[in-house]
Amino acid sequence: MTFVTPNASKIVILGDSGVGKTSLALRFTHNEFHDLELSTVGAKCFTKSVHVADKDVHFSIWDTAGQERFQSLAPIYYRNSRAAIIVYDITQKKSFHEAERWVDEMKRHGDEDLVIALIGNKSDLNEYREVKMKVAQEYALKNNLIFLETSAKTGEHVEDLFMKIAEMLPSVHAKIPENLDHNFGIVSISKLEEKEKRKEKKNCC
Amino acid sequence: MKIKIKNQNQNQNQNQNQNQNQNQNQNQNQNQNQNQNQNQNQNQNQNINQNKNQNQNNRNRNQFQNENVKNENNLNNITNNSPPILFSFLSNQSYDKKTLTQNYGKISEAEFLLPCTMKLSKFRGLTFSDIHNENKIIQFIYSTKKEEIQEFIRNLKKKGIQIDNLQTNLIRTKIDKLKEDIYLKIQQNVNRERLNLQTDEERQRINYCIEEQLEKIIITPFYKTIISSITSRVKKEEEEIQKNLKNLSKQKIEHFGISKHLNNIDWTIPIKIINGISICKYPFELLNIIINTSFSIYETIERQIRNRPKILNQQLIAGDDFLSIFVFILTKTHSDSLKTFEDYLINYGDPLELSTESGYYLTTFCSALEFIKINPNI
């Protein structure tokens, strides 16, 4: 089809219950954190566009249920996703283990080009931290994931997260940043980059 | 009503252009009552089906005229016999059931639900300001694609439709192809026809209009076959769901895992809307019901907790709550064909919707149904 809305890249947000999935999506799409002034908002499909590599990238961000009893339903949500944001709460170690489980599942069942981001949310609650940043960072590096610690409450690094995802999306064919930005703990090695290398090798032969 | 009668007479007297007359009638019908579009389009489909059996142009012309007269009569009957609830909605008056019952007598659930649903479906851009677009699209379909559609339906009927993946694809692929062709045609005539295609929203509205018209025209002749085939295919799953629904419907809301602050909410309106699923015929109507149910969940929460003391995060409906509420609402439906509807919608609905907000609500519906299927108890 050549018409209707531009092809929005579907991003699914996964993670344990209460880690801040909905708040994260809301912060990015509306630049809001839910407080007493807001009317009722909730889980749904959020949309937003970002401009990266001279292109407008349209996101369709799908919030999901995190409770254990709904876990078997997750494939219905992440089907056809271009990216998965796997969120844990830095003050809840259990939620990090849950995030690891999600990473395994997405690596097994996600598309080959799926971009995966591991996000430690609630960075504003550093004094209650249970998950060390270094541990999460190393795990992300080992698994080729985008990694950031964010705060949906203050907005810290939320925008950066989606910009990084946009850069990594195969559909964007964005040039891989020459120097990966490590300022925010980005340790991802793009699958695109790996693919291009593979292509180059093939061409050489 | 006078205008319609006048045109009816015109149709009887003027045999110059059957398509033009047909379109005129359709346009007028739509302007008078959007809610009767379904009936109207069924009549359009009758026109197509009946025409396929006629080879002579003259006979075709007469047939169209007769059908137009029939359509007018049918429409007159509907508008005369129905309570004016539809018109009350059209004029943006209150559609409160109690008031309407006092004024117009007993109103069936379906008659009450339809305008409620229509009002909520403004989300999808189906407002009455789109009448112009819709008319133009019907014109395009009939002026450019009528014969192609007739031939497609004739061939498919001749083959004897058996609903399997191949046949499913045939119908859906045809609709997609036609949509693209019609859209291109509209693009070429965008200035002449005074259609707006500049923004994504405008393009989306046009897409909805084309989709709806094509679903009505192409699916109608095969509707019964499709539904009966899907019903037999999903029979086992449907039985499982119904069995579990029976158990779950006895459970109290507290057992559904919904956050405590949402437990005292009255979910009557979303339940009424989802029950409208039984009167839907086309995939886009089913999708509308699901979308409107989702929206009414938010509306219900918003309305009922508005006056409560505001507590941090209690206006934020997490994904767990939304899905749990959807499961609870599904346990209150009277339909015994939920799985059939799901299968029908997924296979025959607009694939473009799947990655949009509509797709999210459809996914929630599918997830809730799957949850019910695999969980005999909460």
Q: Which residues of A touch B352 (CB under 8 A)?
A: 1, 4-5
Closest CA of chain A from B322, distance in Å = 7
Structure tokens given for B313? 């995060």
Length of chain A: 205
Give the per-residue pLDDT at B113.
45
Q: How many CB pairs under 8 A join A and B?
A: 123
Regarding predicted confidence, which is higher, B109 or A48?
A: A48
State which residues of chain B have pLDDT below 70. 1-133, 160-168, 190-198, 306-315, 378
Find out whether B274 and B341 touch, Cβ atoms under 8 Å. no
The closest alpha carbon to B326, from B311, B342, B313, belongs to: B342
Give the per-residue pLDDT at A201.
53
Question: For residues B271, B273, B277 and B281, what is the CA-based torsion angle, rounded to 10 degrees?
Answer: 170
Give the per-residue pLDDT at A92.
96
Find out whether A52 and A166 touch, Cβ atoms under 8 Å. yes
Q: How many CB atoms lie within 10 A of CB A79?
A: 15
Q: Is residue B103 less than 8 Å (CB to CB) from chain A?
A: no
| Residue A146 three-state SS | strand
Give the per-residue pLDDT at B162.
64
Closest CA of chain B from A55, distance in Å = 16
Q: Which residues of A touch B356 (CB under 8 A)?
A: 5, 8, 45, 60
Q: Is residue B370 less than 8 Å (CB to CB) from chain A?
A: yes
| pLDDT score of A30 more than 60 | yes
Give the per-residue pLDDT at A83.
95
Q: What is the mean pLDDT of residues A147-173?
A: 89
Tell me the pLDDT band of A123, cut-offs 50, 70 and 90: very high
Q: Is residue B173 less than 8 Å (CB to CB) from chain A?
A: no
Give the per-residue pLDDT at A130.
97
Closest CA of chain B from A18, distance in Å = 8
Residue A28 lies in a domain: yes
Give the per-residue pLDDT at B82.
34
| pLDDT score of A120 more than 60 | yes
Residue A183 lies in a domain: yes
CATH of the domain at A114: 3.40.50.300
Mean pLDDT for chain A overall: 80
Secondary structure letter of residue A150 according to DSSP: -
Give the per-residue pLDDT at A171.
66
| pLDDT score of A34 more than 80 | no
Residue A138 lies in a domain: yes
Residue A75 lies in a domain: yes
Give the per-residue pLDDT at A2.
29
Find out whether B345 and B300 touch, Cβ atoms under 8 Å. no
Q: Is residue B317 less than 8 Å (CB to CB) from chain A?
A: yes
Q: Which residues of A touch B183 (CB under 8 A)?
A: 3
Give the per-residue pLDDT at B188.
77
- Determine, for residues B203 and A80 on separate chains, whether the beta-carbon distance falls below 8 Å: no
Give the per-residue pLDDT at A179.
37
Q: Is residue A75 less than 8 Å (CB to CB) from chain B?
A: no
For an interface test with B, the pick among A73, A85, A111, A169 (most B C-beta atoms closer than 10 Å) comes out as A73
Give the per-residue pLDDT at A47.
85
Query: Distance between CA B127 and CA B39 in Å, rounded?
Result: 18
Residue A88 lies in a domain: yes
| Residue A133 three-state SS | helix
Query: Distance between CA B248 and CA B246 in Å, rounded?
Result: 6
State phi, psi for B73 to the nearest 5 degrees: -65, -45
Give the per-residue pLDDT at A32.
66
- In this predicted model, what pLDDT tens digit does every residue of A90-117 receive, in sequence order? 999 999 999 999 999 999 998 889 999 9
Regarding predicted confidence, which is higher, A133 or B260?
A: A133
Residue A2 lies in a domain: no
Rounded CA Rg of chain A: 17
- Determine, for residues B315 and A3 on separate chains, whether the beta-carbon distance falls below 8 Å: no
Q: Is residue A3 less than 8 Å (CB to CB) from chain B?
A: yes
- Determine, for residues A1 and B301 on separate chains, whether the beta-carbon distance falls below 8 Å: no
- In this predicted model, what pLDDT tens digit does every residue of B60-93 receive, in sequence order? 434 434 444 443 343 333 333 333 333 333 333 3
Q: Which residues of A touch B354 (CB under 8 A)?
A: 80
Find out whether A120 and A136 touch, Cβ atoms under 8 Å. yes
Give the per-residue pLDDT at B193.
61
- What is the residue whose two structure tokens read 């593979």? A198
Residue A14 lies in a domain: yes
Tell me the pLDDT band of A173, cut-offs 50, 70 and 90: low
How many domains, chain A? 1
For an interface test with B, the pick among A47, A70, A122, A153 (most B C-beta atoms closer than 10 Å) comes out as A70
Name the residue in chain B with its Cα closest to that of A72: B371
Name the residue in chain A with its Cα closest to that of B184: A3
Residue A4 lies in a domain: no
Question: A119 pairs with which residues across the strands?
Answer: A87, A148
The domain containing residue A127 runs over which residues?
A: 9-203
Name the residue in chain A with its Cα closest to that of B202: A4
| Residue A118 three-state SS | strand
